[in-house]
Amino acid sequence: MRLLTLLLALATLTASAAERPNILFILADDLGWSDTTLYGQTALYETPNLERLAAMGMTFTRAYTPNPLCSPTRSSILTGKHPARTGLTAPNCHTPPIILEAKAEETAPPHQKLTRYTSVTRLDPKYDTLAELLRADGYATAHFGKWHLGAPPYSPLENGFEIDVPHHPGPGPAGSFIAPWKFKNGFKEKVPGEHIEDRIGDEAVAFLEQHKDEPFFLNYWQFSVHAPFDAKPDLIEKYRSKIDPNDAQRSPTYAAMVQSLDENVGKMLDALDRLELTGNTIIVFTSDNGGNMYNEVDGTTPTSNRPLRGGKANNWDGGVRVPTVVVAPGITEPGSISDQFVISQDFYPTLLGLAGVDLPETELDGIDLRATFEGKPQDRERIFTFFPHSTKVPDTLPPSAAAYEGDWKLLRLLHHGENGVHEDFLFHLADDIGERNDLAAAKPDRAAAMAKALERFLADTGAVYPLANPNYDPAAALLNESGISPLLGATLAVDDTSGIATLAGEGPNLKLNLTLKPEVAPGDLTFTIKFRSPAEGRIDLRWAEKGVKPLYFNTRLKHSKRYAADAWIELRIPFAAEKAVTQMRVDFMQPGGIVEIDTMQVTAGSEVMWKAGF
C-alpha cells in the first residue's frame, strides 16, 4: 500500500512538471520602438516573424526599459530590481574595475556643474537571479548570445545558467557578425562566413531539442542589432533598392541586420512548433533600449526612432520605449494589444509567478503582469526611468530621471537648475509623442505631484546620482565647453558682465590651448584675436591637424607682428592647413602678467569657422 501511494505521488509530480510552462526570453540589443513593423513606423525594415509572434499573443504599445543602455536593463530583467536600486546604471561591465557599489563624489573641478558619479560594473552575486530561482525549482536553464554583465565569476554560469554560449562578456559580437569571429575563448564558426545570429539560433534550437521533455528557461539574448554594423552581403544588396533617401531610416546594412534578427525569432518559433512545445511555452520578446542614432553606417545613422525623440543613451522616449510582445498560452489573447505600462523588471515576478516559483524575500521593483496579460486593469500608477549619466550622443541630456503617469511624463534633470536645484519638464505624450512642448508651467499641480512621486522613488530605491558641485563656477564651465584651457599653471577667468576673459600667469607662460568644436576644414585660414596687455610682446600661433603627429610642430607655427602695451589690439594671423584643424595653441611671448581677451575666432575668407564662447 505504501509503495502504491509513493508511485501515485511520483506520477502526480511528473504530470505537474510536464504542465509547468517553459520560458523563452528573447532580448534584442538596441532595437528601437520604430524598428519593427509592429507599430506602423517603418517602411524599410521587414519583421514578419515578429508579426507572427504578435498574432500569437499580446503586443505592448507602452513598454519601457528603466535605463536607455543595455547592461542596466539586463540586470533589471534578471533581478526584478530597478537600476536605481542596484546602482548598475552604465554598460561598463566588460571593463576591468570591479565595482559593486555606486558612488558620487562630493566635490568636482569648478568647470563641472555636477560631481563625478561611478556606476556598479558587475551583476552583484548577492541577488537571486531569475535563472537561479527557476533552476532551483527544477528548470533546465541556458543562456545564448549577449550577456554584458561581467566575465567569470560574474558570467551566466555563476548566475543560474547551466549553459552559456558563446560565453562572451563583451558588448557586441567579437569582431563581426560574419565569421571569422574573434572570441577569445575559441568559439569558432562551423561554416565559412557564418552569421553569429544564425549560429546562436542553431545552438538555442539544439537546447530545445535536448530539453523538450522537461521545463526549461531559455534566455536567448540576441547580439542584433548592436554594433559592429555589418550584415549578410546579399541582404544588404536587397535593401539598397528599397532605400528612400528622404526617410530617416535609410541604412541598408541596418535593415539587413533587422532581417537576420527577425529570421532567428522565426527559427525559434519553428522549433517550438516542430517539437510541439508552443502550447506550453511562455515567450517574451523585448529590447534592452532604444535604437542607435549616434553611430554612422552607410553614410547615415543606423536608424531613427521617429516620431519618438532621442535614442539609445539618452532618457527621451526614443531611448527607453521598446517593442515588446508576450505570448502566455491560455492567458494572453492571440493578436491582442495593450497600452498598459510594462517595464523590464516586471518580467522577473511575472515569469516566476507563471512558473509557480515563490518570490524571494527581497525588495522588488517589478510587478506581476498576469492581470495585464488577462486583459484586466493593472494595479499600477507610475513607472520610472533613471540615467545618472550624460553622454555625447545627439540630443543628449544631463543626468536625469523620469516619472510616467497615464499619458504624462515628468523629466527631471538632476541638479541642473540654478544653484543646483533640479530642473523639471512635463510632457503630455498622447498629444506630444516627440516631447517638444514643456507643460510644467501650465500644469504646476500635476508637475509638483509627479515630482514628489519621483522623489519618493529615488529615496525608496536609495538611488545614487551626481551631486551639485559646491565649487561650480559658470565662467569656468563656459570656457571648458568652448574647449579653451590655460597651460603651464596659468589661470583663465571670464567676467560675467563684460564677457572679457583674463589670462594670468608668471614668466613666459601665458599660453592657451583651443580645442576646436567642430573641427575646422583645411584651407587658407585666419586666426583673429582682440586683446589688451600691459606688456609688449608677440603671439606664436601653432595648430594641430587631424591624424598628424606630433601634435604641434615647427612647420605649423606662425609668428605675429609685435604688439604694443596698454591698448586694445586686433591681430590677424593667416595660416594654411592641409588637413582639418583640431586644436590651436596661442602663446603670448611677453613677460608674465595678464592678458585681457575680448574675442578669438578662425575664419575662412569671410566665413567664421570657429569662435570663442565667451
Q: How many CB atoms lie within 10 A of CB 246?
A: 6
pLDDT exceeds 90 at position 246: yes
Which residues, in sequence order, are bridge partners of residue 595?
Answer: 503
pTM for the structure as a whole? 0.83
Domain boundary among 378, 395, 421: 378
Residues 291 and 261 in one domain: yes
Q: Over range 218-224, report the average pLDDT.
A: 98
Q: How confident is the model at residue 256 (pLDDT cuts 50, 70, 90)?
A: very high
- Residue 3 placed within a domain: no
Phi/psi at 301 (5° precision) = -75, 155
Residues 417 and 370 in one domain: no
Residues 406 and 494 in one domain: no
Q: How many CB atoms lie within 10 A of CB 334?
A: 11
Distances (CA, A) of 607 to 236, 521, 569, 570, 588: 40, 12, 21, 18, 26
CATH classification of the domain holding 457:
3.30.1120.10
CATH classification of the domain holding 284:
3.40.720.10
Domain boundary among 351, 378, 405: 378
Q: Whole-angstrom Cα distance, residue 470 to residue 492?
A: 19
The residues, any chain, with a CB within 8 Å of residue 272's CB and separated by 6 or more, are 24, 208, 278, 281, 283
Q: Whole-angstrom Cα distance, residue 174 to residue 384?
A: 33
Q: Over range 572-582, report the average pLDDT.
A: 95
Residue 513, C-alpha cell as written in the block? 590651448
Residues 260 and 227 in one domain: yes
Please, what is the angle between helix 252-274 and helix 48-56, to 10°? 40
Residues 480 and 335 in one domain: no
| pLDDT the model gives residue 148 | 97
- Residue 84 contacts residue 454 (beta carbons within 8 Å): no
Domains in the chain, number = 3
216-221 and 140-145 beta bridge pairing: parallel
Decide which of 55 and 506 is more confident: 55
- Residue 279 placed within a domain: yes
Q: What is the largest CA-CA distance in the chain?
A: 114
Check residue 537 and report its DSSP letter: B
CA 500 to chain centre: 39
- Residue 503 placed within a domain: yes
Phi/psi zone of residue 39: left (φ > 0), alpha (ψ -120 to 50 degrees), beta? Answer: alpha
The length of the chain is 614
218: helix, coil or strand?
Answer: strand
Q: How many CB atoms lie within 10 A of CB 368?
A: 19
Q: Whole-angstrom Cα distance, residue 388 to residue 466?
A: 7
Residues 501 and 597 in one domain: yes
Q: How confident is the model at residue 10 (pLDDT cuts 50, 70, 90)?
A: very low
Residues 442 and 549 in one domain: no
- Residue type at position 217: F
pLDDT (tens digit, 9 = 90+) per residue, 184-214? 888 999 999 999 999 999 999 999 999 999 9
Check residue 598 and report its DSSP letter: E
Residues 229 and 362 in one domain: yes
Residue 475, C-alpha cell as written in the block? 565662467
Please report the DSSP string for 360-408 in residue order: PSS-------HHHHTTPPPS---EEEEE----SSTT--SSEEEEEETTE
Residues 392 and 358 in one domain: no
Place of cell 523629466: 411
- Residue 559 placed within a domain: yes
- For 457, the domain range is 386-461
- Residue 25 placed within a domain: yes
Q: Over range 463-474, report the average pLDDT.
A: 91
- Residue 167 contacts residue 157 (beta carbons within 8 Å): yes
Residues 187 and 237 in one domain: yes
Q: Whole-angstrom Cα distance, residue 584 to residue 527?
A: 10
pLDDT (tens digit, 9 = 90+) per residue, 283-300? 999 999 999 999 999 999
- Residue 429 contacts residue 435 (beta carbons within 8 Å): yes
Please report the DSSP string for 7-59 in residue order: HHHHHHHHHHHHHSPEEEEEEESS--TTSSGGGT--SS---HHHHHHHHHSEE
- Residue 507 placed within a domain: yes
Q: Over range 98-102, report the average pLDDT.
A: 96
- Residue 485 placed within a domain: yes
CA 446 to chain centre: 29
- Residue 187 placed within a domain: yes
Q: Whole-angstrom Cα distance, residue 375 to residue 320?
A: 24
Residues 135 and 56 in one domain: yes
Mean pLDDT of the chain: 93
pLDDT (tens digit, 9 = 90+) per residue, 412-456? 999 999 889 999 999 999 999 999 999 999 999 999 999 999 999
CATH classification of the domain holding 594:
2.60.120.260
Q: Whole-angstrom Cα distance, residue 178 to residue 191?
A: 11
Check residue 418 and report its DSSP letter: G
Q: Whole-angstrom Cα distance, residue 401 to residue 398?
A: 10
pLDDT exceeds 80 at position 524: yes
Which residues, in sequence order, are bridge partners of residue 310?
Answer: none
- Residue 543 contacts residue 555 (beta carbons within 8 Å): no
| pLDDT the model gives residue 507 | 67
pLDDT (tens digit, 9 = 90+) per residue, 544-561? 999 888 777 778 999 999
Q: Whole-angstrom Cα distance, residue 612 to residue 602?
A: 9
Domain boundary among 323, 348, 378: 378
Decide which of 420 and 6 is more confident: 420
Q: Whole-angstrom Cα distance, residue 151 to residue 166?
A: 12
Q: In what order do the strands lie in the sheet with 581-589?
A: 484-487, 510-520, 581-589, 538-545, 557-559
Residues 492 and 397 in one domain: no
Q: Whole-angstrom Cα distance, residue 432 to residue 451?
A: 20
